Each structure stands twice: as C-alpha cells, then as structure tokens.
C-alpha cells in the first residue's frame, strides 16, 4: 500500500514509509507545534504520533487498539488455563490439597469435611465440647500427671472410703483417741484394751483423827477421764463426808465453788468402814487432763485414815 497523506494531521502507510516521512515543521521555532501528526502503520497495525520535542514517532496503540495475539498469559500453580491470545483462555484455580496450595471452600457451621475449612464463626469454636479421651496422660508416667494432693478437697461424704471390696481413702477420723480403724473400714475400740481408770487419794496418817477442812491436794490429773463412781474405805469404822474440788493450774487452788460433786451424793461413811456409789447424775463427771484436785473434809468422827478411789474410763 502506497503512503497516503490524508492531511497534515493524519497519514497512513508502511513502516518504512513512516520512518521516511518527517512532518513539517519538524520542530517549531518557538512554543509547542501548531499541528498534531498521526500515522497509521499498516505493517504493524499500530497508530503513531510524531513527537516534535524529541523528533520521532511514538506508538499510541498496538494491534488496532488491542494486544497482539503473540502475547502470552503465563500462570503458575494453583492458577491454570494460560496461553497466547490466539484463542479464548479460561483461568482457574486448582483445589488445595495437603501437598499443594489451591482454592479452599469454607464449611458451614458444624459441617465436617476433609476438603473444607472451618470459619472463625463456626459454633464448634465456642461451645462446650466433651474432650477426647486422655485419661492416660494424667496417670503416672503420662505427659500430664496429676498429683493427688493438687486436687481440690473432696466433699464430706463416704464416696472414696476404703471398703472390703475396693481400695480407697481412710474414712474421716471420729475425734476419739480410744478408737482405731478395724479390718472392715470402721472405727472401734481395740479388743482387750483396758480403758478403765482410777485416781486413789489417801487422807490422814492413821494415828490422829482426821481434821475437817482441806486435807489433801492431788497433783495434775494425768489423762482425760469420765467418772463413773467412787469408793471410800477407812482404817476404822466411823463417819466422814468429803467434797471434791477441781480447777485449772492458773486458778489454783480450787475452792468450794469448783466442786464436781452433786448435792446429797458426796463420798461419805456413816458409822461404817466402807461405802461406794455410782449414781452420779448430778456430778460433773468429766475430769480434764492437767487440772488439779482438792479434797475437803466437810465432817469427821473417829476415823484416822481413809482412802477415796474415783474410778471411770479414760479417753487418752
């Protein structure tokens, strides 16, 4: 095709013809050029504009306003479907796998699928769920052993008590020093153990008639004791009435206000050499370890020596 000059603004022709053609004026004397020169290159099917500042042709568009078919769309995994522009191309993303990147579909809330991803709003990420079995991890030798003394205190019940059919923990202590754990899981007093106790007090010298008033200070009570009765004997037949006072070391000596004897049941002899009594309903029968005893002779006749025995059971 021969070069065709349509006007000062627009021309067309081959590449060689475009390169041989120089618009006039090629460079304005001053200021910008007065005209704009365009050239349609029939070989390249491209539109060029002449640059009067740096003289030469500059391409405006290629391929008639399109991209040449020789151009390629190059893809890398997971994108597929590339190639040159000689045909239509459909780009796609391959599905993801454990070995390759790719497209991932989101699962609906609660959906279980090996090819779908859980979203941040999935209910399984926030609700209470039963943990998978992992008891062995907390056992001795496991990855997360739990010590018995690190657990919370148990309830006050017998759920974990040892029995004849199962191992367990010792039952709660009964707060009684005379009881011991037996072979069936209970607390009992050991068979054959004597828990009886007695305090023996001698009054008088056996020569002189005993005087009335405070006649005997007993030392420290050696153990806790529950009084169940008393027994009184004398060297000779006669009459005597005794009172028993008890108080702490801090309050020593005891006084009549500290009596442990019930009215009408004081240890006594009346024209006799012996007497005993066990109906202690009105007595303070509990003797506390460490307290002191004092014997007061309320009245006396004839007797030069008497022995008072206070008996009962000990608890420690």
Per residue in 257-277, pLDDT (tens digit) is 999 998 878 999 999 999 999
* pLDDT in the model for residue 148: 84
Mean pLDDT throughout 50-68?
74
| Domain range summary for the chain, segments of one domain joined by + | 4-65, 196-314
pLDDT single digits (tens) 131-184: 888 889 998 889 999 988 888 888 888 888 888 888 888 888 888 877 888 888
Q: Any idea which fold 196-314 has? A: Jelly Rolls (2.60.120)
Does position 9 have pLDDT exceeding 80, yes or no? no
What pTM did the predictor assign?
0.43
d(CA 58, CA 78): 39
Q: Which of 295, 294, 39 is nearest to 48 (CA)?
A: 39
What would the pLDDT profile of 168-227 be if each residue is shown by its tens digit?
A: 888 888 888 778 888 888 888 777 666 888 999 999 999 999 999 876 777 788 889 999
Side-chain half-sphere exposure of 279, counting CA atoms within 13 A: 3
Asked whether 260 and 244 are in contact (CB, 8 A), the reply is: yes
> Mean pLDDT score of the chain, rounded to an integer?
85
Read off the pLDDT band of 229 (50, 70, 90).
Answer: very high
Question: What residues have CB less than 8 Å from 82, skipping those under 6 apart?
Answer: 72, 73, 74, 75, 89, 91
Kindly report the number of other CB atoms within 10 A of residue 91's CB atom: 10
Query: Quick one: pLDDT at residue 203?
Result: 93
User: Is 76 a residue whose pLDDT tops 70?
Assistant: yes
Of residues 248 and 61, more confidently modeled: 248
Band the pLDDT of 32: cuts 50, 70, 90: low
């Amino acid at each position: 095709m021969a070069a065709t000059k349509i006007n000062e603004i627009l021309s067309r022709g081959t590449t060689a013809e475009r390169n041989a053609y120089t618009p006039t004026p090629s460079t304005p004397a001053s200021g910008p050029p007065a005209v704009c020169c365009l050239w349609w290159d029939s070989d390249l099917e491209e539109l060029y504009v002449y640059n009067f500042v740096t003289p030469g042709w500059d391409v405006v568009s290629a391929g008639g306003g399109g991209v040449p078919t020789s151009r390629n769309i190059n893809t890398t995994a997971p994108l597929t479907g590339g190639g040159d522009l000689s045909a239509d191309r459909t780009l796609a993303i391959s599905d993801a796998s454990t070995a390759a990147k790719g497209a991932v579909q989101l699962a609906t809330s609660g959906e279980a699928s090996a090819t779908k991803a859980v979203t941040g709003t999935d209910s399984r990420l926030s609700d209470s769920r039963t943990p998978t079995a992992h008891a062995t991890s907390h056992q001795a030798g496991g990855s997360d052993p739990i010590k018995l003394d690190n657990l919370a205190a148990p309830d006050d019940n017998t759920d974990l008590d040892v029995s004849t059919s199962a191992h367990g923990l010792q039952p709660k202590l009964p707060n009684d020093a005379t009881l011991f754990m037996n072979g069936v899981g209970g607390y009992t007093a050991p068979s054959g153990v004597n828990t009886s106790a007695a305090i023996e007090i001698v009054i008088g010298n056996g020569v002189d008639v005993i005087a009335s008033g405070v006649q005997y200070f007993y030392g420290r009570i050696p153990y806790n004791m529950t009084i169940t009765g008393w027994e009184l004997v004398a060297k000779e037949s006669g009459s005597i009435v005794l009172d028993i006072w008890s108080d702490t070391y801090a309050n020593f000596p005891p006084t009549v206000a500290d009596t442990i004897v019930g009215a009408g049941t004081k240890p006594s002899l009346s024209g006799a050499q012996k007497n005993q009594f066990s109906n202690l309903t009105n007595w303070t029968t509990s003797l506390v370890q460490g307290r002191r005893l004092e014997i007061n002779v309320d009245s006396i006749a004839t007797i030069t020596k008497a022995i008072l025995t206070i008996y009962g059971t000990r608890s420690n």
